Structure 1
Amino acid sequence: MNDVDALSRAPVKESHEMETASLKISKTIIDEADWLFAIQLQDEKIQKIIADMRAEKKSENDEYVIEQDCLYRKYDGKMLWVVPKQLRFHILHECHDKAGHMSTDKTISRILNRFWFPRMRNFVKSYIKSSVGCVMYKIPGGRQEGPFPKSSKRNEHILVLVDAFTKFTIVAVKITATKHVLDALQEVTSYVGMPDRIVTDRGTAFTSKDCKSNNVKHILNAVRTPRTSGHARRTN
């Protein structure tokens, strides 16, 4: 036994007798239907619709359907899950923010692939209007005609004066009131001379009686005829 080590010869203590209980942890698997039911259960208006339908012993009516205890809305041949109020911001985050900050119509179209909730358009428009990403990075569509962000001199508008020879001069004005426009015109004519005639659009500053002075022939362009002031249009 010389080749047997000390550990193998160590006395083995008897194990204390103790009750052993096998702990079995059963996982509760919450599937999609259970989750949809649970989240709708917290919305009082949805539960009222479901209760009214069940009181009439109907699982569906002209607008809604109850399937697996969940409320769905009939829309364009599809069954759309009715979104509880507390979950609508999350739906908009998924269908608008994560989708690239699309327009109102495109966002609504994405939502209506699976979901529905009342006054959706108003809610989506309000959400997009207050969306930080849209406010910071999106440029409003169409031609911007002012007012623009105030400059260091508190100017908000652009008055474009185009001469047939010098081609153009741009002067900033604070507001488009007649007095300010006339002051800008007088400043320009003080160093380039008084023109024989001027062609303008039909803005109130130009149609004012104060503009009809200094023996200058004033021509107002026709409505929706931009070619009559082509130089100014190209400058814009």
Structure 2
Amino acid sequence: MSANFGVIVFPGSNCDHDAYHALAHVMNANAQFIWHKDTDLSDIDFLLVPGGFSYGDYLRSGAIARFSPIMQSVTEFAQKGGPVLGVCNGFQILLEAGLLPGAMLHNEQLRFICKQSYLRCETSDTLFTRTIEPGEVLQLPVAHGEGNYVTDSDQLKKLQDNNQIVFRYCNREGETTREANINGSIDHIAGICNQKRNVLGMMPHPERAVESILGSDDGKRIFESALHELAAV
């Protein structure tokens, strides 16, 4: 049986259709939209929390979306081991919901960034990266104003020790130079997972990099890995 992918839609989401297109039309997966007021995830095998400006990013990015009815179901889904991918604003929502540690600040330059970025895969030990070798460099676009990931020194050490840093910003050659750290994130962090390794938050957009005509199809690697893992269950 094919896995069912759910794409959550909040007021202000604007990457939901990108995500649906990537899953349904490019990856040929079963995908459906889930409105933020819905709570039933019984037929969902994989959740994607997309980017955008949920609730206009009032208060803080993701701060209001965290209280949408769907998020209690998302939390329960994740606690049971269900895979959850949060992209950009979705990452911010997962942080606000406590499903991932840390927080987001405004970009170091205090400017909205919309450009191609390079990120280095740091671990294959997640269902999102099982088919990607550590050290491989992916090219994915970013589009955010608050992508400067921060956490305290104790939590950072836990992320490092537990191999929870999944992606780091780098240059084309895979080097984590200061110039490559486009938003100033601590330790070049572009994506992290939880300790159970079933929840991934990342700022770059894999759903916007699934067709080479758009400049890169490296985002397919993440969805291919997820589909491969779910098919093996």
Q: Which has the higher contact order (CA 8 A, sep 6+)?
A: 2
Normalised TM-score (structure 1): 0.20
Higher share of residues assigned strand: 2
Rg larger in structure: 1
Higher share of residues assigned helix: 1
